[in-house]
Every structure is written in C-alpha cells, then in structure tokens.
Amino acid sequence: MPHRLFRLLALIWAGSQWTIGYLVAPVLFMTLDRINAGHVAGRLFYYEAILGCICGILLLTLGNQMVRRGDIAYRRLRWHLLAMLVCTLIGYFALEPLMNVLRSTAEAHGTDVGHSIYAARFGMLHAVSTVFYGLQSVFALILVWRLPMVARHL
C-alpha cells in the first residue's frame, strides 16, 4: 500500500506540473491578453507550488519510512524529491514574490510590468524562475521513470 500511495503522489505532482506549465499556461497566453493570462497563470502556479510542497513533504516522509523498513528502491528517489522541492521553493517562494513586487510597483505607476522600467529585471527573474521550473520538470521525469514497480528489500 505505501508503494502505491508513493507512486500516486509522485504522478499527481509530476502530472500537474507538466499540465500547468507546458499545456495550460501556453494556451492561456495564446488565447488571453498578456495581463489577464499572466494573472490566471500566476494563480495556477501558486496552487501548483502549494501542491508541490504538500506532495514533496509527504513523498519525502513516505520514502524515508520505506527506506527505514528496508526498501532500498526509494533511497535514490529521495534526492530527486528533494531537488524538486528545492526548485519549487526557490522558483515560487523566493523568485515569485520579487516578481510580484515589480508587477505591483509598475501597476501603481499606471502601466504593466512589460512596459515599465522594471521590464528587464522582471524578465531576468522570470527567466531564472523558468529555469528552475524546467529543472523541476526534468527531476520529475527522472522520478517517474525510476519509480519502482514492486517493493525491494535489502
């Protein structure tokens, strides 16, 4: 049972990240104006970050318990989980607040951030955030690829 729960949580986290980041967000920007698409995408990425933190903590806890019980298959997976969690924390909870300050400051001056003096800084932070999201996606792919199908004990 813990193996199935682990796989389910890992797939929920990875699948939601890939769906929002590589399907939903691009469609939003193709169909809505940039400002509204950015607001909607921002909310979706917020919920994705919360889901990622919850899944990451649960998966690390579950993985540690299974390793302590002798299931060696989860030993390496914990590093991928930790890397994904760190990417989430940096990408959303460190960089996103900085981008929000720039966005709010530009809006307070009556313009959107893309047409403000903060555009270059916002673009740089957005690019760094995108790199962390991409890294997290790669770690998620490795995690899903290496998920054990059955329990393996020492």
The reply to whether 96 falls in a domain is yes
pLDDT of residue 153: 53
pLDDT of residue 24: 97
The reply to whether 13 falls in a domain is yes
The reply to whether 154 falls in a domain is no
pLDDT of residue 71: 87
The reply to whether 44 falls in a domain is yes
The reply to whether 151 falls in a domain is no
Q: Are 49 and 84 in contact (CB under 8 A)?
A: no
Give the separation between CA 146 and CA 154, rounded to whole angstroms: 18
Domain count, the chain: 1
pLDDT tens-place values along the chain, 154 residues long = 788 999 999 999 999 999 999 999 999 999 999 889 999 999 999 999 999 999 999 999 999 999 999 888 888 899 999 999 999 999 999 999 999 999 999 999 999 898 999 999 999 999 999 999 999 999 999 999 999 876 555 4
pLDDT of residue 152: 56
**Domain extent at residue 20:** 2-145
pLDDT of residue 150: 64
pLDDT of residue 23: 97
The reply to whether 69 falls in a domain is yes
The reply to whether 37 falls in a domain is yes
